[in-house]
Amino acid sequence: MKVLVIGSGGREHALCWRLARSPSVRALYACPGNPGMAAVATCLEAGGTTPEDFLHAAESVDADLTVVGPEAPLVAGIADCFRAAGRLLVGPSRQAARLEGSKIFAKQFMRRAGIPTAAFRVAANEAEAREALKHFGVPVVLKADGLAAGKGVVVARTRQQAEQAAADLLSGRLVGPAGSQLVVEECLEGEEASFIVLTDGRRVLAFECTQDHKPVNDGDTGPNTGGMGAYCDGRILSAPQREQVLERIILPAIRTMEAEGTLFTGFLYAGLMLTAEGPMVLEFNVRMGDPEAQPLMHTLEGDLAAALASAARGALDESALRWNGRPSVCVVLASEGYPGTPRVGLPISGIERAEGKGAVVFHAGTRRRNGELVTAGGRVLGVTASAADLPGAIDRAYAAVREIHFEGMHYRRDIARKGLKRW
């Protein structure tokens, strides 16, 4: 198979790295890719970022299968565009991608499907927001309806903060037009987890559970980021919890999508809060997680391309992939300034030494300048390592991190620490 991966971040490098090890892959392409992906795939220039631009890229190499990393092309209808052109792509249609593209759609969908989630109300202006807030105590959560790259959620500690956040979101100051409508919801308590499955719309292949670290600083403090690290560990969920997630969340979601005529194919990602009343959904995403993909791809066994193609064809081979049972930890190395405006263009050293310590270094925001590798984004690298147990995986990942340097580099020192209580 000739396989094309769309995207240019750490998640896409991890997908490429695993696909390069797939027996059924004859040629691997990335569009637009990054220097890390270029080591395992041929990078294609993107003429733009519309579904048609990506279709042209797929046609230029006659790709047999296209895998989409980020949400934006899916929400824009890339799956419909490829399907109309008769080209195989793994990912949901534009209609099905509303599960991520509209928080209001997602919440109303969960209500219809009976999926456990926080109580909520919708508001389209400040008066409606004030009215909605009367139904909740504090803390309370406000969410922009549209795609906001993780910046559209505010957990307000006081009523005044909540009203201010509503005004900032609705006016477009915080996230632009994505905030023109809001979800106001109950604040849930517990540990968060990411549960991701591959589905053909009827059958599911569940990946091992992962945990992301969104706040920029140790101890979950500071502003939210796209994710400062993630780990994959079979102990995050007990066997009964895993069963609950499948039976009460994933299967009802997939069956309700099918019943409503919007068959969901591709990766379905449930962002969970593990509350005292059981797992509840904070959000759905319609793609692999970033950085969750890095530890997941690192420890996956089997033919990923064959599994993805079977899902895209509507005949998922549920036994195509296995987890090797080894916990895996990914530490993100970020640029000075991130999650604000990052400083970029700084030389990066030590990747080979880090890989010599048994880690895999996934590129997220890098580029080549006259042959030299330099920083090119907020999240620069994802240093990923696994071991027989979680403490060993953490030690190995951080030993590798210590080999890497760029000016202003920062990272969290406590990735996966929450998981240690389960060992």
Q: Which residues bind ligand GLY (CB under 6 A)?
A: 212, 227, 285, 289-290, 292
Residue 9 vs 201, nearer CB to ligand GLY: 9
Instruction: Pick what 144 binds: ligand GLY, ligand AMP, none; C-beta below 5 to 8 Å, kind-dependent.
Output: none
Identity of the residue, 77 or 229, whose beta carbon is nearer to ligand GLY in the bound complex = 229
Contacts (Cβ under 8 Å, ≥6 apart) of 337: 343, 378, 408
Alpha carbon 22 to its chain centroid, in Å, reads: 22
Return the closest-CA partner of residue 215 out of 226, 205, 223.
223
Compute CA distances 37 → 17, 134, 361, whole Å: 7, 50, 11
Q: Tell me which of ligand GLY, ligand AMP, none is bound by residue 227, counting a contact when its beta carbon lies within the kind-specific cut-off of 5 to 8 angstroms.
A: ligand GLY
Instruction: Residue 187: name its binding partner from ligand AMP, ligand GLY, none (Cβ under 5 to 8 Å by kind).
Output: ligand AMP
Cβ closest to ligand GLY, residue 66 vs residue 285: 285
Burial class (CB in 10 A: 0-12, 13-18, 19+), 192: middle
CB nearer to ligand GLY: pick between 295 and 342: 295
Strands (E), 128-206: 140-144, 153-156, 182-186, 191-199, 204-206
Give CA separation, 275 vs 5, 117, 189, 213, in Å: 36, 10, 6, 18
For 96-114, letters b (16+ CB in 10 Å) and e give bbbbbbbbbbbbebbeebe
Residue 43 contact partner, candidates ligand AMP, ligand GLY, none, CB within 5 to 8 A by sort of partner:
none
- CB of residue 290 to ligand GLY, shortest distance in Å: 5
Q: Which does 290 bind (CB under 5 to 8 A by kind): ligand AMP, ligand GLY, none?
A: ligand GLY
| Nearest to ligand GLY of 227, 339 (CB atom) | 227
Which of ligand AMP, ligand GLY, none lies near 192, with the C-beta cut-off 5 to 8 A by kind?
ligand AMP
CB nearer to ligand GLY: pick between 289 and 377: 289
For the bound state, the minimum distance from the C-beta of residue 271 to ligand AMP, rounded and expressed in Å, comes to 4
Amino acid identity at 375:
T
Q: How far apart are CA 39 and CA 54, in angstroms?
A: 21
Q: Residue 37 gets which letter from DSSP? A: G
CB 212, min distance to ligand GLY, A: 4
Query: In this structure, what token pair is assigned to residue 303?
Result: 């033919």
Place of tokens 């053909």: 200
127: three-class secondary structure by DSSP:
helix
In the bound state with ligand AMP, the residue whose beta carbon lies nearer, of 285 and 375, is 285
Separation CA 384–CA 106 (nearest Å): 32
What letter represents residue 148's amino acid? A
Q: C-alpha distances in angstroms, 68 versus 3, 54, 308?
A: 11, 10, 11
Kindly state the smallest distance separating residue 280's Cβ from ligand AMP, in Å. Answer: 8
* Cβ partners under 8 Å of residue 238, min gap 6: none
Cβ 231 to ligand GLY shortest distance, Å: 12
Per-residue tokens: 267:
């990766």
Task: Select 136 or 284, whichever has its Cβ closest to ligand GLY.
Answer: 284
DSSP state of 21: T
Q: State the binding partner of 289 from ligand AMP, ligand GLY, none, CB within 5 to 8 A by kind.
A: ligand GLY
Q: Which residues bind ligand AMP (CB under 6 A)?
A: 118, 141, 143, 153, 155, 185, 187-188, 192, 214, 271, 282-283
Q: Which does 128 bind (CB under 5 to 8 A by kind): ligand GLY, ligand AMP, none?
A: none
CB of 412 to ligand AMP, least distance (A): 15
Rounded to the nearest whole angstrom, what is the least distance from the CB of residue 232 to ligand GLY in the complex? 12
Residues 335 and 414: their CA atoms lie apart, in Å, by 18
Which C-beta is closer to ligand GLY: that of 102 or that of 310?
102
90 binds, among ligand AMP, ligand GLY, none (CB under 5 to 8 A by kind): none
Closer to ligand GLY by CB, 34 or 210: give it.
210
Residue nearest to ligand GLY (CB): 289
Dist. CA 93–CA 77, nearest whole Å: 6
- Which of ligand GLY, ligand AMP, none sits in contact with 233, Cβ below 5 to 8 A by type? none
